[in-house]
Amino acid sequence: MDSPWLLASLPFALGVVMFGLGLALTVDDFRLVGRHPKAVVVALACQVLLLPAVCFGLVLAFRLPAELAVGMMLLSASPGGPTANLYSHLFGGHVALNVTLTAVNSVLVVVTMPIVVNLSAGYFLAGDADVGLPFGKVVQVFAIVLVPVAVGMLVRARAPHLAQWLNKPVRVLSVVVLVVVIAAVVYGVRNDLAGYFVAVGLAVLVFNVVSMLIGYGVPRLTGVEHRAAVAAGFEIGIHNTAFAITVALSPGLLNSAEMAIPGTAYGIVMFFTAAAFGWVITRRRAQVRGARTPVEPA
């Protein structure tokens, strides 16, 4: 990336996205954990433990170059995105649970993401001692992730009318931020773009589909009801790619355009696969209900 002004603006851009998330959260969203403990614990276990393990296996299976491998692991450690709430609403998921999972994940990521990134960087980039997220950089992540969320929540609590007025324009701005960041990454690696996407595209697609299947299937196998499982499926399958790309690109963090490629590809793919996933589970649910409905005798 050769645009200093763009690199300098990345933390601010992510701050806008996280502030918008904060505007949609209340303290009660965290209390919801106690009302749906099983669904929350299972979903978080999938997100924090299972997903990075699956991603690591895929990275090895596809034999990705080192920088792309670390970028994939960074993506796996990123929290769910606010877009998951929209898809959950459209396809009958438990939206309140989505909000709770996003809230908790956005707090946990300050701890879990550096662990995943440092372990993967140590494995794939063992000869590069400068790559990783030591304590000083973790503090920076904390500042650009949790502080805007806390400010957004404070605005909603103290000035609900202002929060309601800001909600739509900040959401629109968040989408614009994601589009601009993705476009900047594509432009920055334009000379090697085809090679990068050939190398990582299939891995990203498989990881995206597997993430949604894990997010829905594991909760169902553990007895979580359908609507909560749908919410978990979208929450785990739709990552906050703006977060992953920003951490990858920021000079104070990983400072690598190559590591941002998986997040860029995922940010494009997930909108289509999430819609297909929602259609499939909705249709399957309708078929199951139809099969259970007794037929009236003629």
On the question of pLDDT at 6 being above 70, the answer is: no
Predicted confidence at residue 250, as pLDDT, reads: 76
**pLDDT-based confidence at 168, cuts 50/70/90?**
confident
| Domain spans, the chain | 4-287
176: phi > 0 → left, psi -120 to 50 → alpha, else beta; which?
alpha
pLDDT of amino acid 176: 78
Q: pLDDT band at residue 69, thresholds of 50, 70 and 90? A: very high
SS (H, E, C) the chain: CCCHHHHHHHHHHHHHHHHHHHHCCCHHHHHHHHHCHHHHHHHHHHHHHHHHHHHHHHHHHHCCCHHHHHHHHHHHCCCECCHHHHHHHHCCCCHHHHHHHHHHHHHHHHHHHHHHHHHHHHHHCCCCCCCCCCHHHHHHHHHHHHHHHHHHHHHHHHCHHHHHHHHHHHHHHHHHHHHHHHHHHHHHCHHHHHHHHHHHHHHHHHHHHHHHHHHHHHHHHCCCCHHHHHHHHHHHHCECHHHHHHHHHCCCCCCCHHHHHHHHHHHHHHHHHHHHHHHHHHHHHHHHHHHHCCCCCC
Output the pTM of the full model. 0.78
pLDDT in tens, 80-124: 777 787 788 888 888 778 878 877 887 788 888 888 988 898 899
Can you give the pLDDT at residue 230? 93
Residues 44-54 as b/e (b if ≥16 CB within 10 A, e otherwise) read bebbbebbbeb
pLDDT tens digit string along 186-215?
676 667 667 777 788 899 999 999 999 999
The answer to which of 106-110, 141-145, 155-159, 225-229 has the lowest mean pLDDT is: 141-145
pLDDT at 166 > cutoff 50: yes
Residue 71 has pLDDT above 60, yes or no: yes
- Note the pLDDT of residue 298: 45
Give me 243's structure tokens: 């977060």
pLDDT of residue 7: 58
Per mean pLDDT, which range of 10-14, 243-247, 257-261 is the poorest? 10-14
Compute the average pLDDT of residues 223-250.
Answer: 88
Give me the amino acid identity at 34: G
Predicted local confidence at residue 178, as pLDDT: 67
Given a cut of 70, is residue 137 above it in pLDDT? no
pLDDT 10s digits, 23-47: 877 777 667 667 778 888 999 999 9
C-alpha distances in Å from residue 218, one per residue of 101, 231, 279:
16, 12, 19
What is the per-residue pLDDT for 223? 93
Highest mean pLDDT among 28-42, 162-176, 203-217, 264-278: 203-217
pLDDT > 70: percent of the chain: 80
Enter the CATH code of domain 4-287: 1.20.1530.20
| Gap between the Cα atoms of 76 and 52, Å rounded | 5
